[in-house]
Structure 1
Amino acid sequence: MPQKYAAGNWKMNGLVSDLTEVLEIDKGVQDLACNTVICLPATLIYAADGDPRQVVEIGGQYCHPSASGAHTGDISAEMLSEAGAAFVVTGHSERRTDHGETDADVRAQTEAAWRAGLVAILCIGETLAQREAGETLSVLAGQLKGSLPDGATPENTIIAYEPVWAIGTGKVATPEQVAEVHDALRAQVDPEMSLLYGGSVKAANAAELFALTNVDGALVGGASLKAVDFVPIARALAAS
């Protein structure tokens, strides 16, 4: 069976003082039968990975394909690993849009994550225009083919479906839409690979989403910033 993951993506949010929320999340998920990951800004990773009793695992949000070099402002997978990260997000739509990252870029970043021993949380998702044009499944299949390197296994890769039109908008794909996509993805990847849904996931809709076949968890944005919002999502996942 695929592993269950409640993963949070803090994006460009958080100072050291905010790491108290990670501690509170950790307290809230200690007894849960699911994996919990918080992907933090690079500046917080080292400080967040300190207590050996901590069950929350830490991730980064991006890695450069190269291990080192003249890439001002970038960070390598090896640097993330050394700082304490075990996971890294690759291919998030905000990276694809804001930084022009292509499927080929995402593929290279995912390979870099593996090189450093990190688990890649590889994101794919369609725009509203693509959804309304009936292109969702073909767009996602193309992104998956272009972004997912050969050698992907359930141990080194998690796939996150994040419809671009539902990220931070308050809009959520219907259960039928999520099920259609996740069922199609399951047919294209290893049957043991975890498939997460992301897009305005909250405590109020988490249980319904996690009840769907082939939804193995969530990649959560804004609701992962506060333990009071995120822990109920993780609890809904563990109960599913």
Structure 2
Amino acid sequence: MKHIYLNLKRFDIPKEAGGVNALAPIREWGAKIIRDTQDALREYNREDVEFAMYFPEAHLIPALEALGENSPIQVGCQGVFRADTECGGNFGAFTTGRTANAMRALGCESVLIGHCEERRDKSGIMRELMHSAGTPEIPEDAVRKAVNRILNQEIREAVRAGMKVLYCIGESAEEQPVWRDVLKEQLETGLAGVERSEITIAYEPIWAIGPGKTPPDQAYMEKIGAYVKEVTGGMDVVYGGGLKKENAKLLAGVPSMDGGLIALTRFSGEIGFYPEEYLEIIRLYMDGVEKDKKY
């Protein structure tokens, strides 16, 4: 099965406030994305490909309400807290915490955990804590290990609540010389003690994300996908560095990759996310997959 994920980040912010949203008024934005895509996605066989969209929390209810009967779209959230409610225990004392039980009760089927932006945030908090405490600078490997342990707690809560998980891993430019060790630790620690049947891995080449940087080629993607499958015993892995028009056909030809993660659909001019371009990316990718099957 192929997996197409969509991380909508904070693409809802209007342009006049520094964002990239020219699609709809912010209160209507989440529902419009669902309405403008779900009928077109029905043409794909659910046994061949699944679609999940990760919305900022404010848009979850409008997005869920816009789902039609038997919609092919799974609505997901962009993270969960590392602890949760339990019968006879904590009944909800988690101010600002987006708990897995709350998200599942709302109707979310999936969650994005470990995105490089989340990892960066958690690492920054740890460094600031050490700086404020006046302690010597904490080694980067210790920060990485602590972040992986926290992410493992989040994954555990999501799985316990009955949610699917897209777990992101990846190495920075500084970590590239030891990329195998970095990815292996992220996988082994993040997935420790977790039922893996509803988890997919997303590989983010952090070293290649950003203006002016060279994305990985097909051979590199194949190498990473094969390594992740080797370490995890064959778990599905998707390319999290950005599935777009420019690389959709290339990615479709990578045997060890099982899909991709889309974010922005337009990177120049009127930068932003546009549903018709999202659908075009999917068409290009799936056409490439079908073509690859024939050869």
**TM exceeding 0.5:** yes
Contact 1:168–1:199 (Cα < 8 Å) also in 2: no
Structure-2 separation of matches of 1:200 and 1:113: 24
Partners of 2:240 and 2:75 lie apart in 1 by: 18
Cα offset for 1:165? 2.6
Find the counterpart in structure 2 of residue 96 from structure 1: 119
Count of residue pairs the alignment pairs up: 234
- 1:178-217 C-alpha deviation (Å, 9 max, x unpaired): 11111111111232x3211011321121111121011100
Matches of 2:121 and 2:211, distance apart in 1: 17
CA contact (8 A) 1:29 1:235 kept: no
Q: Is 1:72 the counterpart of 2:72 in the alignment?
A: no
For normalisation by structure 1, the TM-score amounts to 0.90
Higher relative contact order (CA 8 A, sep 6+): 1
SS of match in other structure, 1:57 = strand
TM-score normalized with structure 2 length:
0.74
Distance 1:197 1:169 in 2: 18
| Cα distance in 2, alignment partners of residues 49 and 168 from structure 1 | 32
Which of the two has higher C-alpha Rg? 2
Give unpaired runs (5+ residues) of structure 1: none
The answer to whether structure 1 residue 18 and structure 2 residue 29 are counterparts is yes
Match of 2:251 in 1: 209
Output the aligned Cα RMSD.
Answer: 1.9
Aligned residues of 1:89 and 1:121 also touching (Cα < 8 A): yes
Amino acid at match of 1:74: G
Deviation at 1:170, TM superposition (A): 6.6
* Distance in 2 separating the partners of 1:58 and 1:30: 15
> Are positions 1:47 and 2:62 aligned together?
yes
The amino acid across from 1:103 in the alignment is N
Residue 152 of structure 1 deviates from its aligned partner by 3.2
Kept in 1: contact 2:155–2:194 (CA 8 A): no
Q: Percent identity?
A: 24
- Deviation readout 1:109-149 (Å, 9 max, x if unpaired): 00101111001100000002222xx2222211111111113
- Counterpart mapping for 1:56-205 below 5 A: 56-68=73-85, 69-100=92-123, 102-131=147-176, 134-154=177-197, 156-169=198-211, 171=213, 172-191=215-234, 193-205=235-247
Query: 1:225 maps to which residue?
Result: 273
Q: Distance in 2 between matches of 1:22 and 1:145?
A: 35
SS of alignment partner, residue 281 of structure 2: helix
**What is the alpha-carbon distance in structure 2 between the residues aligned to residue 230 and residue 215 of structure 1?**
19
